[in-house]
Amino acid sequence: MEEKKKVLYSAVQPTNNLTIGNYVGAIRNWVQLQSEYDCYYAIANMHAITVKQEPALLRQRTLELLALYIACGVDPEQCVLYVQSQVPCHAELAWVLNTITYVGEMERMTQFKDKSARHAENINMGLMDYPVLMAADILLYQADVVPVGLDQRQHLEITRDIAVRFNNRYSPTFTVPEGIYRKVGAKICDLQDPTKKMSKSGEDPNGAIFMGDDKDTILRKCKRAVTDSETEVRYDPDTKPGVSNLLSIYSVMTGKTMDESVREFAGKGYGDFKLAVGEAVADVLIPIQQEQKRLLADKAYLNGVLNRGAEAAFRTARKTLSKVYRKVGFYQGDK
């Protein structure tokens, strides 16, 4: 008898252009993980509207993100690919979980503090409640594991706290998820400020390489990347954050180990090093861009993928939600 696979959940917002940090930290790993786990991969458009969005652009970017997923190698036949808003259970479970989540916990969230500072004119309840909706996303599918970047560790921990709290109050209901953390390249940093994470909403566009950047743009951004006044290419995040960041990028894009990457550039200058990093990134991104363009021309196919995904996600999510409703005492009629 074949052993049942563990369940894995992950999601990305369809906002702005994704960076290679999003690719390395999330989508690239999805491809590797989809054969090992029973995977649910979502387009998190409900999370996206905590910051003001242009509706038509949000719809467009939703399809673009789906096409990007598939172009990167995520297989709709192997996993469940869907749009978060097409499964109402996410919002329904989030409401129940709100009742066992404390305001102080949400106010302490680092991302809430950061986004509140950046969007002072729009500090809405959704922005504060973001981690509870994320908890609902994960717990609905009884996820055993969640691949997370270092910046999302806090959100996974509050998800675990909420699951344990609910289980203790109402009897065992949710699987308490574990995190999968990638060591090399877990945090791709800004090319202009390597002390910060590479962000799709960063102030300096030269700090991020976007998935849609052409080769010339990629090479130019790598050439302008901040390094240091030394000449040695070595991995030392504390004293050489810029060089170490470029080495992380090179390592994950080529599949080489960090030691192999460092040895390759022994005795070479920063100019050759930066060019090689840019070429490695372009070699990965250009074929993905071409396949994404081909997929976007077939809207019927993409809609079919999303509709099938939403149906499959709903079947699983509804089972969990019905169990939760029963546990908390919601009347559901005769079944």
How many whole angstroms separate alpha carbon 191 and alpha carbon 221?
8
Q: Is 187 a catalytic residue?
A: no
| Residue 121 pLDDT | 77
Domain 7-180+298-328: state its class: alpha beta
User: Which residue of the set 197, 221, 240, 274 is catalytic?
Assistant: 197
Contacts of 244 (CB under 8 A, 6+ apart): 194, 235, 236, 237
Contacts of 10 (CB under 8 A, 6+ apart): 26, 30, 39, 40, 41, 42, 146, 147
CATH superfamily of 205-293: Tyrosyl-Transfer RNA Synthetase (1.10.240.10)
User: Which residue of the set 115, 221, 240, 274 is catalytic?
Assistant: 115
| Residue 319 pLDDT | 98
Q: Is 6 a catalytic residue?
A: no
Tell me how far CA of residue 220 lies from CA of 200, 208, 276, 306, in angstroms.
18, 11, 12, 36
User: Which residue of the set 6, 187, 196, 200 is catalytic?
Assistant: 200
> Residues of CATH 1.10.240.10 domain(s) within the chain?
205-293
Query: 199: number of CA atoms within 13 Å, CB side?
Result: 13
Q: pLDDT 10s digit of each residue in the chain, 335 long?
A: 567 899 999 999 998 788 998 888 788 889 989 999 999 999 999 999 988 899 999 999 999 999 999 999 999 999 999 999 999 999 999 999 999 999 888 878 877 777 767 767 778 888 889 999 999 999 999 999 998 876 778 889 999 999 999 999 999 999 999 998 765 445 799 999 999 989 877 778 899 999 999 999 999 999 999 999 998 999 999 999 999 999 999 999 999 999 999 999 998 999 999 999 999 999 999 999 999 999 999 999 999 999 999 999 999 999 999 999 999 999 988 75
> Residues of CATH 3.40.50.620 domain(s) within the chain?
7-180+298-328
Q: Is 240 a catalytic residue?
A: no
